[in-house]
């Protein structure tokens, strides 16, 4: 347990509003109350975080995020949520994070103000964790919103290339078609943004093929790709050949019944096939987990010894979107490996 906490880790798949801890949510609530704003999340706060061992269908997870969105609907609380979440990751032994979030227009802020609130927090970050932003596009969004968000992602990437490093596609995988997003993702890519896609969360081999052929820098989940888990040989071979790094989210997949239990998680197949992987939390608030807990579950379930676990973290540095930080982070983890005789 101590080892999983102490090994320097990188987090490459964390949705801001899904990462809010109960303590953070209570602080946001207090802030809104101090500003004289009522929020409807109060009655639902207990429903946001799942109890350990509980599971719900993936489609039932998406309405839960609305509870967090109520709390981060003004710039002050959004900035606070970002700062508190970064601190929690740092306290958990995370040395680098690519936080992701979908810009939203609320009664109190524009899409631009949403991005500004997060960026300013990242800029003022006094914690030692290095933090960047990936802008999320929700699959359920309308064309106009998708274009606004992509253009803002490009604008902010130009302004803050070290902070806004990528763009990603998330939201309910049962809604929308990947092909619909190809033009905006291509535009973002041409402007220098790196791309990660939620891929194979539900069984849809045709979409997996389209996504892998698009050659994103990384993919998230990759559940239904191996033939054992709803995929097939063709897409599995395509993934093996492409060597696209996979952001693995063990507890998220088990909690949403995408995977029946930890021991039958496709981590095993990915790892044995030497597909690049990174261990991630997805939504540490909703799924009541932490990055060190995900490392511990991985080690215990699949018999990964400390030396191998540290090397999973080390190799994750090669997949981070901030290329100029890869060496510093690798050196930090290598240092830990050498100091501990791993």
Binding-site ranges for ligand 5GP (CB under 6 A): 15-18, 65, 101-102, 136, 138, 170-171, 173, 198, 201, 252, 282-283
- The residue among 107 and 338 lying less far from ligand 5GP, judged by its C-beta, is 107
Nearest to 284 by CA among 31, 100, 149: 100
Residues ≥6 apart with Cβ < 8 Å to 7:
93, 295, 306, 309, 310, 313, 333, 336
Residue whose pair of structure tokens reads 């490996």 in the numeric block: 337
Q: List 9's β-bridge partners, or say none.
A: 94
**Smallest distance from the beta carbon of 252 to ligand 5GP, in angstroms?**
5
Q: How far is CA 295 from CA 83, 253, 290, 303, 308, in A?
A: 23, 15, 9, 11, 11
**Smallest distance from the beta carbon of 20 to ligand 5GP, in angstroms?**
9
SS3 292: helix
Active site residue 201: yes
Which one is catalytic: 11, 168, 201, 207? 201
- The residue among 58 and 314 lying less far from ligand 5GP, judged by its C-beta, is 58
**Smallest distance from the beta carbon of 154 to ligand 5GP, in angstroms?**
18
Residue whose pair of structure tokens reads 């830990």 in the numeric block: 336
- The residue among 9 and 198 lying less far from ligand 5GP, judged by its C-beta, is 198
**Smallest distance from the beta carbon of 338 to ligand 5GP, in angstroms?**
36
Task: Kindly compute the dihedral angle of the four CA atoms of residues 206, 207, 213, 214, in this order, to the nearest 10 degrees.
Answer: 160
- The residue among 168 and 269 lying less far from ligand 5GP, judged by its C-beta, is 168
Active site residues: 201
């Amino acid at each position: 347990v101590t080892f999983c906490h102490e090994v320097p880790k990188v987090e490459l798949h964390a949705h801001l509003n899904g990462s809010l801890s109960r303590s953070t949510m209570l602080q946001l609530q207090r802030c809104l109350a101090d500003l004289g704003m009522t929020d409807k999340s109060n009655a639902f706060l207990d429903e946001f975080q799942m109890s350990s061992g509980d599971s719900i269908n993936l489609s039932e997870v998406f309405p839960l995020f609305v509870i967090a969105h109520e709390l981060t609907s003004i710039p002050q609380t959004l900035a606070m949520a970002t700062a508190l979440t970064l601190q929690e990751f740092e306290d958990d032994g995370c040395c680098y994070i690519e936080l992701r979030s979908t810009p939203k227009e609320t009664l109190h802020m524009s899409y631009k103000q949403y991005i500004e609130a997060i960026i300013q927090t990242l800029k003022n970050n006094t914690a030692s964790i290095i933090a960047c932003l990936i802008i999320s596009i929700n699959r359920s969004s309308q064309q106009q919103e998708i274009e606004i968000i992509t253009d803002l992602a490009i604008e902010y990437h130009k302004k803050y290339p070290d902070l806004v490093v990528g763009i990603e596609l998330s939201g309910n995988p049962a809604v929308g078609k990947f092909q619909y997003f190809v033009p905006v993702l291509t535009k973002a890519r041409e402007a220098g943004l790196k791309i990660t896609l939620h891929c194979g969360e539900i069984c849809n081999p045709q979409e997996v093929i389209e996504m892998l052929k698009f050659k994103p820098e990384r993919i998230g989940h990759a559940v239904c790709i191996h033939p054992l888990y709803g995929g097939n040989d063709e897409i599995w071979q395509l993934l093996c050949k492409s060597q696209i790094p996979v952001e693995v989210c063990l507890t998220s997949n088990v909690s949403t019944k995408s995977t029946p239990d930890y021991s039958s998680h496709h981590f095993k197949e990915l790892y044995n096939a030497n597909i690049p992987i990174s261990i991630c939390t997805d939504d540490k608030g909703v799924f009541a987990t932490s990055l060190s807990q995900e490392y511990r579950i991985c080690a215990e379930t699949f018999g990964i010894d400390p030396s191998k676990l540290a090397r999973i973290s080390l190799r994750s540095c090669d997949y981070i979107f901030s290329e100029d930080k890869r060496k510093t982070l690798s050196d930090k983890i290598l240092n830990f490996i050498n100091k501990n005789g791993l």
